[in-house]
């Protein structure tokens, strides 16, 4: 059974960079059938797509976050990562990593999510 697990700090200071890693187990991140993505959800609000990455390293970002987001992949560790720079309180959210199934373009597996709070 495929599992995704987010890891990273639960508290980040304003203006700093938020780093998160998603570890994939039970399947290979290098499969050509999938993209891997980050989605966030501010407390009490809806979901927001942050960006996606293919195992080859091709990346796609939300235009509203593009200037602050970097997503990378490490196939040797079966992991992909998110870095969000210059964070503010508005970046406080539960961050999810998930898998896009490219045959039908939907998110079929999700991590449990990790709450990241931006505060001094």
Q: What DSSP string runs through 55-103? A: TT--EEE-TTTTTTEEEEEETTTTEEEEEE-S--GGG-EEEEEEEEETT
Q: Smallest gap, in angstroms, from Cβ of residue 89 to other proteins?
A: 20
Nearest to other proteins of 16, 113 (CB atom): 113
One of 67, 105, 119, 120 touching other proteins (CB under 8 A): 105
Does 119 participate in binding other proteins (rule CB under 8 A)?
no
Does 13 participate in binding other proteins (rule CB under 8 A)?
no
Nearest to other proteins of 105, 120 (CB atom): 105
* Neighbouring C-beta atoms of residue 115, cutoff 10 Å: 13
Does 55 participate in binding other proteins (rule CB under 8 A)?
no
Does 107 participate in binding other proteins (rule CB under 8 A)?
yes
Let me know: does 112 contact 25? Beta carbons within 8 Å.
no
What's phi and psi for 90, nearest 5 deg? -65, -15
What's phi and psi for 91, nearest 5 deg? -90, 0
Does 52 participate in binding other proteins (rule CB under 8 A)?
yes
Does 39 participate in binding other proteins (rule CB under 8 A)?
yes
């Amino acid at each position: 059974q495929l599992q995704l697990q987010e890891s990273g700090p639960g508290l980040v200071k304003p203006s700093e960079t938020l780093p998160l890693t998603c570890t994939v187990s039970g399947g290979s991140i290098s499969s050509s059938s999938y993209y891997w993505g980050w989605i966030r959800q501010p407390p009490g609000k809806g979901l927001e797509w942050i960006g996606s990455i293919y195992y080859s390293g091709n990346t796609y970002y939300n235009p509203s976050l593009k200037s602050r987001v970097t997503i990378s992949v490490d196939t040797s560790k079966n992991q992909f990562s998110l870095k969000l720079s210059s964070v503010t309180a508005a970046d406080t959210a539960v961050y999810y990593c998930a898998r896009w199934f490219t045959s039908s373009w939907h998110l079929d597996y999700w991590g449990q999510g990790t709450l990241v709070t931006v505060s001094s």
